[in-house]
Each structure stands twice: as C-alpha cells, then as structure tokens.
Structure 1
Amino acid sequence: MALRERGELRVLGACPLDCPDTCSWVVTVKDGRATGMRGNPEHPYTRGALCVKVNRYLEHAAAPDRILYPLRRVGPKGSGRFERITWDEALDEISVRLRAIVDEHGGEAIWPYLGTGTLGHIQGSEGVAGRRFWNVLGASRHFLNICSTAGNAGLRLANGTPGGMDPETFALSRLILLWGTNTLTSGHHLWRFIQEARAAGAHIVAIDPIRTRTAEQADVHLPIRPGTDAALALGLLNVVLSEGTQDDAFLAEHTNGWADLRTEILRYPPARVAEITGLPEADIRSLGVRLAHTRPTGIRATMGVQRHAGGGTAMRAIAAIPAVTGDWRHPGGGVAYSTSGHVHLNIDTRDDLLPGPVRRLTMTRLAEGLDESVKCLWVYAANPLGSTPDQNRVRERLAREDLFTVVMEQFPTDTVDYADIVLPATMQIEHTDLHAGYGHMYLMWNEPAVEPPGECLSTTETFRRLARHMGLTEPSLYDSDLELAEQLLASGHPSLDGITVDRLRKEGWVRLNVPRPFVPFTEGFPTASGRLEFGSGPAYVPPRTAAGGPYPLALVTPASHTFLNTTFGNNPELLRRSKGPRVVVHPDDAEPRGLRDGQRARVFNAFGGFEAVVEIDDRVRPGVVASTKGHWGKLSPGGSTVNAVVEERDADLGQGAVYHDNLVEVAPVMSETT
C-alpha cells in the first residue's frame, strides 16, 4: 500500500533477507526517488526497528557498483572483465546456448542454482522462483540445502514439522534456553519478548561455543564444545529423570518410543556429558535441576546448532526435552526453530511440466556436482563462490571454459567474475513479493516503491522475457506477479482463511489465522501416529571435530553483525565496521603458536586456507577458533574466505552442511615472522 502525505509516498514493504525476522518497513518516496526507509512501528513483532545492516539498504541500492545493464564477459573467467550489451543481445545468446545444450546433452545438463539472497515466495527461494521455466526445459533439480535441512529433518522425524513455538510466547516462558543462537545479531526482535519474560522472573541461559553479544546478556553462558549439543540435551534429561519430574501423562498420551529413549538418557549422566561437552559437571546438574522444576521452559535453537556431523540428531534430541517435561502443554513452552512449518502457502512448482524424471544436484556439493555433465550453471539470488564449502575447488570448476554460466545479480560478487553473461537484478524496493517470516507468524507484502534503475529486471520478469524469447508456449510461464500471489494464497489451509492479496496490499502484513497465544500441538503432532516420535538409533552423533588429528582447533563460522551471508559484503561502511576478516583465538591457544593480537595469520587445513587478523580473547573456549562468514574473497587478504577450509560433507540427516565442524591450524603469516 502507498499513502500520500505532503507530496510524499509512504510504501509498505518487507525485508527479503535470510533472517527469521522479515521486518516490515516503510519507504518514503518523493519525485520517484526513495528518500527514506524506517521500520514499520505498527508491526506487532518487528515494531519499527531495523538491524544495523538493513538500515543502510537505500544507500546500498544506490551504490556506484550496482549492476544496471546486461554484461558479456570479455576477459578470462575470474577476471571480472565485461562489456555492456543489450537485453536482446543477452537473451539471444542465452536462448541459442540453452537450446543447443538441451538438444545435445539434454535438459539435465542445466543446473539452476537458486540461493537465499531473497526469501520471497514470488521472487526468491521460498517459492522456488523460476522452477516452472526450468521444468519445461527438463533442467536438473536444485536441492537448496545450505541453511537448515539437518535441523528440519530431525524435527520432522520427532514432531512431524520444523514448526514449533510462536516466538512471541517467549514472553510467557520462565526458563529460556538460547541454544546455538545469537539473538542480538541474527533475529534481534525476539529479544524484546525475552526481556518481557525476564521482567516477570525468567532465567536466561545461552548455550554457545562463543560468548556472543547474546551470551553476555544472559544470566548464564555455557560454552559448549561445538557439535556436542545432543549429549547435553540427554544429560539435562538425565537430571530431569533423577529429579522425578518427567511428565508421565504427556509421555503416555502424546509420544512413542519413550522406553527406548529413557534407556538412552540413562547412558548420559552429567559426569559423562561433562567429558563430552567440556562443561563443568556442576553446571550441567544445576541447569538440569532448574529445567526439571521450571514450567514453562522455552528453547530457541536456530540454524547454527545443526551445522555439524550430528546436526539432525541434535535437533531431534533438543525436541525431546519439552516432550519429557511436558512443556508442549503450555504457552511459552517448547522449541522454536523455524515457524515456516506453520506457513501453508500453495507452492505449486508445476512438476507436471517436466518431460520426465530428472536428477537432483545438491547446493552445498557444488564442486562435486559441477562436473563435465553440467554444461550450464545459472546462478540467481546466490553467491556460491562466497558461500559454499570447498571454495578452492568451486573456483576451479567455475573456471571451466566449456561451462556456460549466467548470473542474475545486483553487485559484482566473486561469482559474477566467472560469469559469461550477467543479468541486472532488481532489489526489494523495486519489485513485488510475498514473504513469510521464519521467526514469526505473519505474512508480509512488499509493494515496489520505485522503478528499477538502469535496465534491472525482477526474477519473474527475467524468466517471462526469456520464455517469450525462446518461443515457449506453456501459459503458466507468463503468469503475472499478482497472479502468482493469488495462487500462493489458494492452498485452502485454515491458517490462510481471510488472507487475500488485496488485504495484504492494503495492510502490509497479516497474522496467520492461528490462536493467540499459539500452542502448536494441542490437537496432536503432525506425524503419521499423531504423537511425537522419539525414534530409535543413536541419540548423539559426535562431530568430526571430536576426532583430533593434524589440525587441532575446531573452527566455527558464525554470522557477522554487519553482513547477512555475503549480502552487504561490499558496503564500504559495513566493511569498515566489520574490521575485515578476523579470527578469534583463546589465549591458551595463541601463546604456543606465537600469535599476537592484531597480527595477520593464516587459518588452514588440507582443503585450503584464508588470512585473517588475530584477535586474542577468551570469548572462545580453548580448542575453538571463530571467524565470521560473509566476507567477499576479492575484498579479503589472500583472496579466500572461511569457506576455503570447509569440507563438502553432509550432516547425519537432510544432507545439511557442516560449516561448524571443521578442524584447522592457525599460524602467523610468514611475511611477519621472517
């Protein structure tokens, strides 16, 4: 919706970025130009506050390095040398190349690589934008597993859905476990509800290998060894059993497999869990006793907790806690991972358009999958050279001269430098989209506030023009953005009752049609049995970092406070605030390595290495080093980032990534020691 006041338009929109909060915002427009942006104070969850990153969004959209026109490569791959061409020239070349690839090699030789640069249901990954077009060509299926799939899989096995608590109900919790989540950096709007709970007497515990901004504000910080979360969950439940406070009625009425899980829990007394997790036994017992006697307990566990070898099992073990304690009965009790499981939009990707079965290629195994059978890589809403594991091998594969690479982008990322054709992409203030936050219970509408600059096109319009250029006749390829929005809302699910496109455009956001407070499983769990399934098999899968070897330090790669993945990684002010790539090393690990505060060092293992400035600090535990993700290689010393040392390897469930399960060594750069 746009309101006009004193010659200015105020346009309602929503942040598109990969953050649970999906903020509602208001863009002020004068004479066709966006002159201001602020958080929408009327939104019940985000309440007018934007993060330090998005506060610079208008500046970012007008940045001088914005890609405004189609480009064709004129230098070697990786050189970043391009010439401007017209849209017709770009579409002509793309059409000819795609037709030739399909005719000679089949559609599966095309890999449409969609990322989480926008979580839009129309323009981005949540709605699998472009899938209809790729289905008509018979392209390979892209498995977007980079973020949360291990945790999703573990929660689906237990609860039948990754959906859990409404985060607003944390205000009602009396014990809050912030488990592997840095709320004040990644989803800071939840903190207001945590503060409301604290004012009413709630106790806040942060479980994290790093003493983050959030951990510093908690009542207790437990600096757990990375990847040992499932063992801690079992140890806490061991104390609950010893206190005799398990909810036997809930267990009997609403769960399956309790006898087997109980036997497993008894194998993890606090003394053993202390050895595994590196936490003092007394701290484990203390939290276990508090958990045993505090209702309701709310657990916030987000994606960082499941990016290791046992990530799926860890989330399944954490999901067992409120089942054993009966916290799922209470508003403010349970686990909040992602509210996306409660969003029942009609994501119709028209798989009926496929000419036959197609293979699946996995996002986080780009180096492995980008072999000679892939003749075209089409990248959109993604910067895989900056974001995926095994960075050095990915770079080698992108340099293949026989690989036709098209990148739809806003800025000249590391990946753009390897493109044959670059297509200029719109930003959020320039296109229509529909969003659903994965950290709250609201659908959000984004109305375009201004015309796109230069010749930028939205994702949907790009695919409509390309389909027309290729002479494709499937009618659904030409659906307008508003038609796509209508289709999304036509699932018939009760949670969408009363929600229409017209209403969203008018109001900007609408809460899902669920009770307030929302207690999700009052009528049973969405499993085949209708019960929470404890399951069988191992209840704890050790991380790779528990194995030891020639690289003795466990590396974790948390989110930056100034970047969101690699978005904003080229913003001058946010780059300045980030202080460049840094590696935090505990004093006990720095001294034997001759590392000094402020010194340049190389972090490395068998897969590669990157350079960073050393920061000696006890906010990481001994044996753990930390370096934030999101930096661009081309803007970093040595040209590589943290993903140069991350292995292409799957977690136990869901083929999740293992960004927090890598062993490294740290050494001073030679130029400073010779």
Structure 2
Amino acid sequence: MTATQVRATCPHDCPDTCALLVTVENGVATEVKGDPEHPTTAGVLCTKVARYVDRTYHADRLLYPMRRVGRKGEGKFERISWDEALDTIATRLKGIAARDPQAILPYSYAGTMGLVQGDSMSLRFFNHLGASLLDRTICATAGATGYKYTIGGSMGTDIEEFQNAKLILIWGGNPIASNLHFWMRAQEAKRRGATLVAIDPYRSLTAEKCHQHIALLPGTDAALALGMMHVLIQEDLLDHDYIGKYTLGFEDLKARALEWTPERTAATCGITVEEVVALARLYGQTAKRGEAAAIRMNYGLQRVRGGGMSVRNIACLPALVGAWRHPAGGVQLSTSGTFPTDRAALQRPDLLKGRSPRTINMTTIGDDLLKEASPEFGPKIEAVIVYNANPLAIAPDSSQVQRGFEREDLFTVVLEHFRTDSADYADILLPATTQLEHVDAHLAYGHLYMMANNAAVAPVGEAKPNTEFFRLLAARMGFDDPCFSESDDQLAAQAFNKQDARAVHFDWESLKRKGWQKLNMPAAPFAEGGFPTPSGKCEFYSSTMARDGLDPVPSYTAPYESAASNPELAARYPLAMISPPARNFLNSTFVNVQSLRATEGEPHLDIHPNDAAARGIAHGDMARIFNDRGSFVARARVTDKARPGLVVGLSIWWKKLSSDGKNANEVTSQRLTDMGRAPTFYDTLVQVEKTAHATRDSTRDETL
C-alpha cells in the first residue's frame, strides 16, 4: 500500500486558512492534518477540520443529481442524470432570461473561501447572462467599510507578531472558537507577561481566560472607543509626533471625543466609570512606555446598526497612541485587503457588456423573494441558484426566508454536499465536490500567505466542482466565450496580480508544490504612515464619508432595538439577544456531524440568573424565545456568562436538526447597518418564557 501526501488548504470561513497535509492511500484520503512547516498553522487544526476525511466520505454525501418529487421543504427527491439536470436548468433559465435575465439570482457566500470554486466561473456565467447581482454583505462589509474609511483597506497587524505584544484587546470575538491560531499567539504573549482584555457582552470561553472582561451592552462598542479617546486626550496619553505626521483631522476628533465623558460612556455601555478610565489608561500607558499595544477586532461587534462606525472608532485608537510604530502593535480586523487579488480576471465583469443589472442584498432575501415586479424593484425573482450557502439557516428573519423559498413558481437549484435546510427546497439538487476533490487558490483574512489547494482524490459519486457545473451550464446555454473553457488551474494562475510588489514571487505551479507563500510586506505596515487612504494618512476626519452622506468624524449610533433607543419595543421585549457561533460549528457547516453536534448537545440559551428568576425559568428548562418576527425554543442555561438583560443563543443550528424545526434567525431582523449594507444579527430584542419540553426527532440524527 502506497501512501502519498497532498498539500491542501482549509476552505472554510475562518481567518486561520490552515495549510493541510492530506494522506492518500490507493486513491482514498485517510487523514487530514495541519502542515507543521506553515508558520501560522504550526501543525494544529481545529476539531472540525481534523475530521475532514469523515466529512468527505460521510454516508449522507450527495452523490448524484436529483429532482424534487415532494412539496418544497419536504426533502423528497428522485435521482436523475447530469444531462437531464443540465437540460432542465438550461431550459428554465433560457425561458426566464428571454423575458428578463434579472429575474435570475445567484445566492452564494462562504461555503468555500476559494477564489476559484467561490465566485470565478460562476460570476462569469451570471455576468454573461445579465442576471441580478448579489450584494454579498452577510458577514463583514459593515466593519470593512468603516475600517476602509479610516485605515484605507483591510490590512493591519501580522498575526505572527501578536505574541510580542504587551497588551492585547480582544474586541468583539471569541478566538478560542473562531480564530484558534491567533489565540495560540495570544496565549504565548500572556506567558511572556502580556495583559489580555476581552471586550464582549458575553463571557465567552476566551473572555474567561483573559485577565479582564468588560461586558458592555450589545451595539455600544463605538461609545466605548469614544470614551477611551476622551481619557487618552484628557490625560495626554497621546503620540503627538505620530498624530502630527500620519493622521488627518485630530482637532475634529478631539472635539467629538471630549463630549464622551467616562460617565456618559459608562451609562451608554452599561459598565462602570472605572472600567472606562482603567481601560483607556492601560492602553495609553502601554503605548507610552514604548511597548506594543495590539487590538484584535472580530466580526461580532459590527452586526448592529452602528457596526461600521464601531469598527471605525476602534481603528482610530492605534494612531492616537502611536501603536502602529511597533510590529506587534496596531489593530487587525482582516488581512484580506493586503492580497493583490485579481478578481476582474477571475470574474470577468466585462462580460456584462455595459449592462447594469440590479443588485439584491443577500441579507434581505426573505423580503425580496416575496416582492412582485415593480418599476422600483424590477422583475419578480423567478429563479435562484444557491451554491456555497445555506440561506434557510443563515439569513435573518428566517420565517420570511422560508416563505420565499416555498413559492411554487420559484425555480431553485442548489449545489451542496448534504441535504441542508436549503437543499430541501431545491427543484434540482446537485452534488458538489469537497475541498479534497478539487483545485483552488486562497487568500486569508487572518494571515499573509497565498495558499494553494490540490485535489487529493477523485470526486466521490458524480459530484462536480462548482466551476465544472457552470462550464457545462454555459455550454448548454450557448455561451461560446473562450473564458468558459478555462481549467481550474488556469483560473488559479490568475488569482493574484504577479505585477504587484507584494506578489512578484507568485507562480501558481510553485505555489501548488509548496502549498503556501507569504506576501512581501513590511513587519510594521504603518510605522511611518503610508495608509492606503486618499490622504495617505489615518483619517480621523474622512471627506469620503462626508461625500457618502455619513458623519465624517467618529460618532455613536444607538442600536435599532435597545432599551435606550426604543423603550416602547423594550417594554414588550426587554432582553437583548446575540447569537454568536457555537464552538463546534462554523456558520451552518458541520452541524450534521453527529460527534460535533453531540458535543454541543442541543440549542441552548444562556440567561442571567436574575432574568431567569423573573420568568420562573430554572436551569435545564425549555425556553421559548420570541418577538414580533417569530420564535424558537432552546434549553435554558442559567449562568452569569450572560450579563443581566442579555440572552445568548450559540448558533447556527440547522433548523431541521433542532427540536422545533427553527433556529435563532427566526427572531433576527433584515435591517441593515449604518454602512456596508450588512446585517444586524446582534441588534435584536426578545422576550423569553418557560415552555413545554420539546424533543429532538431522533430519525434526523445523522452519524459519522
């Protein structure tokens, strides 16, 4: 028996983008492990991806094309051939496109983060067709927009420097669950004497292991950053040289920050004055001593009405104290903007040929699927092609999403590995390859390595890569542009701009052999300014924001749903709810892995003892969580991990695998953020009541 190792890359929506080594014996993958030579992976994988072989060969893998034979949502299908599936899809799409191609909508996101299998050949297809564009905003665009206004792009501190910091603020994230390899660096910094502070409404696993946890109210992060600025300015914990040389608009920022006294900040955030002052002093004094003060922001803090401004305000802090001077200082939200990715070459927007199709926001899919044709909206959506996404589980206001996909006149195609909630609503259900079965190229949003994924094994059953499906469909539709004949390797070779100084050493064949290659970047990217903003400086005042109709100076926007901003609503629904990721799931991926789901147990709701007692809820009771949008049930865990007035439902469960067929997105809103058109998952008020016991349907308990 001959065993070989194939270099691969984790494809999932995680900043770590791990380098993998896949062991293959006689054409079968037998083990996936982390590459010990890759500096960020360091041979370590999360429990989810360490079991990736089991996922590829899962007994419930979709292996053949299928056609729906039952009601939408019932999940009843019959096997058909690829030829029949492609002919059916092409015939339906041709008929719709003849009336108006904008009635066809792609729906995809981060089921794979690959540049090839994500949105290369697929967007070529939809651009050539003239279909509606999809605003892919459901995760990070609020923060990315606020960060870009301030810093100029999604770039910042190198993860490989964090262990040298003396202070790390972990703001709005739980890296033990969602950023393991950063957490390893943070733990090393802690062993070397660094102070770790978690800023999060919820006392997560990460917060429990930090020196301090500041449990602010959801949606008030922008106010805390302004309060910190107030103290930094009043106590002159500033780097005046850095401010003078490398920032723009300090006097405007100063005037705004001086409005945010520690008392006002504390009242807004639901914390103490002492916490505001001590945090600002800790941050400012660390930098003043010439030690590295670092901030690791994550996506939790931006999923509220003022999420973009929250990220903008926090991104101002390093420039105020000169933290960018140190390689281990500054801030990281995402590194994705560091990569010179050639998306135009991959996606070919020129195929639109001057057309400007309408754009549908993926966050508002529930409402948009139910809209009739109108001059303002355009044509009614008649077809949806779902790939790399599970909208029935992950989109907000889930009951509305379900009503949209239940439409008998909506033609739905789903490419998937398993029968997800969304797959049950497909008219045509197609088997997609996993990461072990196709070629891809990757950037990262938590480190600085270009990554290659080699196909380790042949596709199982009749599964096909996303790219191959769209090539075949393009041929059925009569698209003859040569770009639809390019192979996955040809696509991957176009992924990065080789003329860019950061990637001049890029060559696809050598990247495939090695698996990874670091970008050419300075250790401290903004030590001497050089921000990719219009001014070249960190912009405390942004004229671009002013032109976009936004406050050009850091400010605070209260949540849509809070006791302070909407007391009438809060009288009926007095508890704030957030639904951060469960440790053993990744968005809605891995929920059907029985061993991982068994570790999570069942959907839970963490509720503070005071809030539980007021509702007669004991630990272990079933609770109904509800508001005007809907309801779901979960097992109550009475714990002070949730601050008073807050409940926490770790997510995202497949609805079909929960006891009542629902998940936390029954109660979330389709409202959008202040900038970036992003969702407001954590801007939600609910009421909670004790309810009758609900039992999981054991027939749905898939195993590995």
Q: Alpha-carbon deviation of 1:510?
A: 0.6
- Contact map agreement 1:27 1:36 (CA 8 A) in 2: yes
1-structure distance, mates of 2:629, 2:673 = 18
List per-residue Cα deviations over 1:546-565 (Å, max 9, x = no partner).
23421000001111111000
Q: Return structure 1 stretches of 4+ with deviation > 3 angstroms.
A: 520-523
The equivalent of 1:545 in structure 2 is: 561
Task: State the 1:522 CA deviation.
Answer: 3.2
Structure 1 residue 174 displacement after superposition: 1.3
> What does residue 3 of structure 1 align with?
none
Structure 1 equivalent of residue 516 of structure 2 = 509
1:358-377 to 2 correspondence within 5 Å?
Answer: 358-370=357-369, 371-372=371-372, 373-377=380-384
Question: 1:527: which partner in 2?
Answer: 533
Q: State the SS of the aligned residue for 2:660.
A: helix
Structure 2 match to 1:312: 308
- Supply the AA of the counterpart residue of 1:352: D
Q: 1:462 aligns with which of 455, 469, 483?
A: 469
Q: Provide the C-alpha distance between the structure 2 equivalents of 1:423 and 1:268, rounded to a whole number of angstroms.
A: 55
Q: Give the aligned partner of residue 116 of structure 1.
A: 110
Equivalent-residue separation in structure 1 for 2:693 and 2:605 (angstroms): 18
2:517 is paired with a residue of what secondary structure? strand
Aligned mates of 1:169, 1:262 — CA distance in 2: 30
Contact between 1:330 and 1:519, CA under 8 Å: does it hold in 2?
Answer: no
Greater mean deviation of Cα atoms: 287-296 or 574-583: 287-296
Deviation at 1:575, TM superposition (A): 1.0
Normalising by structure 2, we get a TM-score of: 0.93
**Residues 340 and 497 of structure 2 are in contact (CA less than 8 Å); yes or no, is this contact kept in structure 1?**
no
CA distance in 2, matches of 1:665, 1:226: 16
Q: Tell me the distance in 1 between the aligned counterparts of 2:654 and 2:237.
A: 50
Q: 1:446 and 1:162, CA in 2 relative to 1: closer, same or farther beyond 3 A?
A: same
Q: Pick from 170, 183, 206 the counterpart of residue 198 of structure 2.
A: 206
CA deviation map 1:498-550 (0-9, x unaligned): 111111111111111223x2434635111111111113256111112323421
Using the TM superposition, give the Cα deviation of residue 278 of structure 1 relative to its aligned residue in structure 2, in angstroms.
Answer: 1.3
**1:102 partnered with 2:97:** yes
| Structure 1 residue 128, shift from structure 2 partner | 4.8
Alignment of 1:406 with 2:409, yes or no, is: no
1:200 to partner: Cα distance: 2.8
Instruction: Report the Cα offset of residue 471 of structure 1.
Output: 2.1
Match of 1:353 in 2: 351
Residues 529, 538 of structure 2: 8 Å contact kept: no
2:584 to 562, 566, 571: 562
Give, as a single letter, the amino acid of the residue that structure 2 aligns with 1:87.
Answer: W
Question: For residues 583-662 of structure 1, what are the structure 2 equivalents within 5 Å?
Answer: 583-662=605-684
Matched, 1:338 2:334: yes
Shift of 1:196: 2.7
The one-character-per-residue Cα deviations of 1:432-485 (angstroms, maximum 9, x if unpaired) are: 011111100111111011111100000111111111222210110121111111
Contact 2:33 2:50 in 1 (8 A): yes
The whole-number CA distance in structure 2 between the counterparts of 1:671 and 1:83 is 36
Flag structure 2 segments of 5+ consecutive residues without an equivalent: 373-379, 542-551, 695-704
| Contact 2:316–2:540, Cα closer than 8 Å, also in 1 | yes
Judged with a 3 Å threshold, the aligned counterparts in structure 2 of structure 1 residues 521 and 341 are, in CA distance, closer, same or farther, namely farther
Query: Where does residue 163 of structure 2 map in the other structure?
Result: 171
2:377 alignment counterpart: none
TM superposition shift of 1:489: 2.6
2:253, 2:554 within 8 Å by CA — same for their partners in 1? Answer: no
CA contact (8 A) 1:489 1:500 kept: no
Deviation at 1:309, TM superposition (A): 0.6
Q: Which residue of 2 aligns with 1:270?
A: 262
Deviates more, 1:552-561 or 1:189-198: 189-198
Partner residue in 2 for 1:18: 13
1:661 deviation in Å?
0.8
Partner of 1:571: 593
The aligned counterpart of 2:426 is: 419
CA distance in 1, matches of 2:42, 2:517: 14
Q: How does 1:48-67 map to 2 (within 5 A)?
A: 48-67=43-62
Matches within 5 A, 1:375-414: 375-414=382-421
Q: What CA deviation, in whole Å up to 9, does each residue of 1:355-381 have, x standing for no partner?
A: 411100111010122134111100000
Q: Which stretch of structure 1 is more off in the superposition, 82-91 or 319-328?
A: 319-328
Report how many aligned residue pairs link the two structures. 663
Q: Is the partner of 1:151 in helix, strand or coil? A: helix
Mapped partners of 1:103, 1:502: distance in 2: 42
Supply the AA of the counterpart residue of 1:391: S
**Two-structure CA RMSD over aligned residues (Å):** 1.3
Q: Is the 8 A contact 1:121 1:129 kept in 2?
A: no
Alignment-mate amino acid for residue 627 of structure 1: G
Q: Is the 8 A contact 1:29 1:449 kept in 2?
A: yes
Residue identity in the other structure for 2:310: A
Equivalent pair of 2:498/2:504 in contact (CA under 8 Å): no
Tell me, what secondary structure is at the counterpart of 2:643?
coil
Pair 1:118–1:671, CA change in 2 (3 A): closer
| 1:453 matches 2:460 | yes
Q: For the residues of structure 2 that align with 1:284 and 1:20, how far apart are their CA atoms?
A: 29
TM-score with structure 1 setting the length:
0.97
Q: In the alignment, is the contact (CA less than 8 A) between 2:22 and 2:456 conserved in 1?
A: yes
- One-letter amino acid of the counterpart of residue 177, structure 2: T
Specify the SS of the correspondent of 1:282: helix
Counterpart Cα distance in 1 of 2:174 and 2:657: 26
Q: What is aligned with 1:300? A: 296
